[in-house]
Amino acid sequence: MLFNSYIFIFLFLPATLIVYFLLNNRRLTLASKTWLVFASLFFYGWWNPIYVPLILGSILFNYAIGVTLSGAKNFQSKFILISGIAGNLGLLAYFKYMDFFITNINYLTGGHIRLLQITLPLGISFFTFTQIAYLVDAYRRLAKEYSFLNYFLFVTFFPHLLAGPIIHHQEMMPQFDRLKNKLLNHRNLVHGLLLFFIGLFKKVVIADTLAVWADQGFDHAAVLNLVEAWTVSLSYSLQLYFDFSGYTDMALGSSLMFNIRLPINFNSPYRSSSIQEFWRRWHMTLGRFVRDYVYIPLGGNRVPEMRIIINLFVTFFIIGLWHGAGWTFVCWGLMHGVAIVVQRIWGKLHITLPRFLAWILTFSFVNFSWIFFRARNFDDAVKVVKGMFGINGLGGTEQIPNAFRSLKRFQLALKHWLGNIDGDGQTLTFIIVCLILSIYFRNSNYMEERFSPNWKNACILGALSLYAMLNLQKASQFIYFNF
Amino acid sequence: MRMKKYRQFLKLYLWITAVMALPLLINLLFITNAHEHTAFREIVKIQHTKDAIYGTALNQNTFAYKIELVRFVKPKIIALGSSRVLELREEFFNAPFVNCGGAMNNLEEGKVFLMELFRHHKPEVLILGLDFWWFSNLFNQRATFDYHRNTGADLTLDKLIKPYDFLISSKISPRDYLQILLLKNDKNHITNYNNLGLTAIKRSDGFRKDGSYLYASTISGFAPEGQRIIGFNDRLDPKRRFEFGTDLSRNSLDTLTELLKICINHNVVPIIFIPPVSTVAYKRIVSRPEKYGYVLRFQEYVGSLSYETYDFHDIRKAESTDCECIDGFHIGDVAYQKILLKILKQNPDSVLSKYVNTGLIGRMALEHTGKVMTVFEADQDKFYYREADFLKLGCQKN
């Protein structure tokens, strides 16, 4: 089920909330948790019930491994942990990477092994990573809660199930059991609504508008001129941010209505003035996961310099591959790996760039790297890159003298310049406004923290929610559902 | 204390949202009453129950509407093409017929339409009208069609605001608005039809239940003049419908081949024709071979296809005149009757011979010659006005 659908907003969410708090009010806490688990499975199965047994199997397997780990002796536990992780990665490999693997084998050997063409189960990357983290925590004796229902709820809790944030066992379990969290909290309800509708607005009003130009440019246009290529790349960079951070806001908001606070995932990443800072602000829970469960176990910063560099590459290779089964994703991950290494070496030179210049460099790099992330293949990526370097022309130089005579003429010229991507006179204005919003405006977490219940905010929230809900019709999927 | 404040805020928020939503809810009632918020599937059912005209101002998706029409009627014959084939009517045939004109705005869309159509129903015959500009190498053949997703019942902010926009721009009067809102009025002063959709309610312009188009306001002389004189102007618009070209588009020819292959694979017989333009437009095209050289090559190409093909680019070949045109590139149903008669005369063995109501259309074409629209016996009481000389060509319409 999509957060940005009428069925979720008007039926699923209110019904789940009402029944959950009614059961808690009658002190039926076990029933309320069970209800939340069933509601979450219903939410998951709405898209395709065929994958419900898959998530159930994954939960049972990991729970069994977790419990075994808790009672195992040191020498046994390492083996159990490795088996558990291998089981999870095997599941992920089969459903997500098998066709990629076969394609590469066919390419290298000239063979014709048939592709399995398996539909990627929703959220598999997220629930697999969440559970790997749980197993490692159990191995480290950090996961102390072993109630099956609690574990079930921890994995399936619908706000984070499909596209994160990636959560930790120890940050969720105490919240599920805290007594005061079982009562309807009007403050959390209001703050949750605020976050939810900010997220919905980001998704349906901003991201879906930008998607038109990005999709047209990447998937349909045969060539792109300079203006079009920059419009396409910026549209996608902004679409991805508003889409994914919008989703996260909705996840955090709906979870908060149940008095459960999920970890934040975005902190105005496009303000970053270095790649390292970018990764501290972008998809923060994934960054935390790879730091804690990949980079540090590989040795972290406490190994020789060359090893650190290799570890960084391995980490970003995994990040790239996690996002999708394709070489374009690997390329994107490695680009970030290179950037981090360059930044590390630069840091040792003790030369500080002016902040604005550092920001320009960082944003340009991130924007450029998203091209490889978005493109279906390298040809599409090269098409956009060529356009950005003006190889296919500037986009109507013959119109330039006339274009600046009046605003109307300029808008007409823009329509002509952006013809291949369905752009018009408003496109660039929209992109500039979105860029300003993503860089200079307070982000949703800040707004939520400092929210005060007054007339003005009631009007703003009313207008925001109404406008967002009226734009729901398109009901497009979130980009991160594909990962 | 703090919780109380939040409880009050929640109430306030709900009240404010409700107040903000009220004007939109009023418009929701308005568009619901006007059938602008009704799924195409439902529209088709109502049309067939009430013999209603469907002219929407808010749901531009002829593609999906025509698919629903085919699913409902299950015709043996369909006509497919742009709006230029829209005057082929069910009365011309003795077997179930649906006009899918307007669902194909270029060859790629036609291909997509047929693939979708054949998932639901396979007719016996497809009458395919080809617009010459689709074959210009300078024609931009779009391959994505976002509007296909519109079901007719979609609720968007734009749709909810639009009635106020229409009021401000006087496209509908406050009286029209209130009559639809409060009385569900679906009648107008031009015809006696039941009307679905704002354009139909206002002017009876819209699709008949067979998918053909009724230009009621134009024919009665109520439509704004500017719209109707395209092709009769001093110049043809090379950006829209009369595109220039230096050669035939290879891509278009390939798409046509694929489209015809889809028909053959589904055992549907295609009959291909080139619809006419007005004599005025035709002469202008012929007089500019440097800009329209591809048109002749296109005609030759169509003639060389190994299917039943007919070229009526020059309206005089159908023994029709500009008086039977709606504008420079749309002809009326009288001209279409003459085209069918001409086809059967040229080729008595045509697949169409067993489907055409030759007797009826022969009589009607004669009776209505010089007019755009035929008024069949069953529709005699539907029209309050006679056909006007709306092109002001001095045509005798009596």
Q: Please, are residues A126 and A96 in contact by the beta-carbon 8 Å criterion? A: no
Active-site pick, A323, A336, A350, A416: A323
Q: What is the pLDDT of residue A408?
A: 67
Nearest to A470 among B5, B10, B160 (CB): B160
Q: What is the pLDDT of residue A371?
A: 95
Range from A119-128, B127-136, B237-246 carrying the lowest mean pLDDT:
B237-246
Residue pLDDT, tens place only, A209-257: 899 889 888 887 778 888 889 999 999 999 999 999 999 999 999 999 9
Q: Please, are residues A233 and A216 in contact by the beta-carbon 8 Å criterion? A: no
Q: What is the pLDDT of residue A405?
A: 65
Residue pLDDT, tens place only, A268-302: 999 999 999 999 999 999 999 999 989 998 888 88
Q: Please, are residues A284 and A265 in contact by the beta-carbon 8 Å criterion? A: yes
pLDDT at A397 over 60: no
pLDDT at B236 over 70: no
- Measure the CA–CA gap between B203 and B162, rounded to whole angstroms: 18
pLDDT at A357 over 90: yes
Catalytic: A323? yes
ipTM of the complex: 0.79
Q: What is the pLDDT of residue A139?
A: 87
Tokens (6 digits) for B368: 């209505």
pLDDT at B85 over 90: yes
Residue pLDDT, tens place only, B62-71: 999 999 999 9
Q: Exposed, middle or buried, A389 (CB in 10 Å: 0-12/13-18/19+)?
A: exposed
Q: Please, are residues B109 and B144 in contact by the beta-carbon 8 Å criterion? A: no
The alpha-helical segments, DSSP class H, found in A258-274 are none
Using CB atoms and an 8 Å cut-off, which of residues 142-201 of chain B contact chain A?
A: 143-144, 146, 149, 154-157, 160
DSSP codes joined into one string, B91-146: GGBSS-EEE-TTS-SSHHHHHHHHHHHHHH---SEEEEE--GGGGBTTS------G
DSSP codes joined into one string, A156-182: H-HHHHTT-----HHHHHHHHH-GGGG
Question: What's the residue count for chain A?
Answer: 483
pLDDT at A145 over 70: no
Our CA-based measurement puts residue A465 at a distance from the nearest CA of chain B, in whole angstroms, of 8
Q: Do A465 and B143 touch (CB under 8 A)?
A: no
Answer whether 0.80 is exceeded by the pTM.
Answer: no
pLDDT band at B138; cut points 50, 70, 90: confident
B5 vs A: CB within 8 A: yes
B21 vs A: CB within 8 A: yes
pLDDT at B228 over 60: no
Q: Please, are residues A468 and A200 in contact by the beta-carbon 8 Å criterion? A: yes
Calculate what percentage of chain A has a pLDDT beyond 90.
Answer: 49
- Measure the CA–CA gap between B133 and B245, rounded to whole angstroms: 8
- Measure the CA–CA gap between A381 and A389, rounded to whole angstroms: 13
pLDDT band at A403; cut points 50, 70, 90: low
Tokens (6 digits) for B228: 């109707």
Residue pLDDT, tens place only, A71-118: 777 778 888 999 999 999 999 899 888 888 898 898 888 888 888 777
- Measure the CA–CA gap between A44 and A299, rounded to whole angstroms: 37
Q: What is the mean pLDDT of chain A?
A: 88
Q: Do B7 and A186 touch (CB under 8 A)?
A: yes
Q: Do B9 and A454 touch (CB under 8 A)?
A: yes
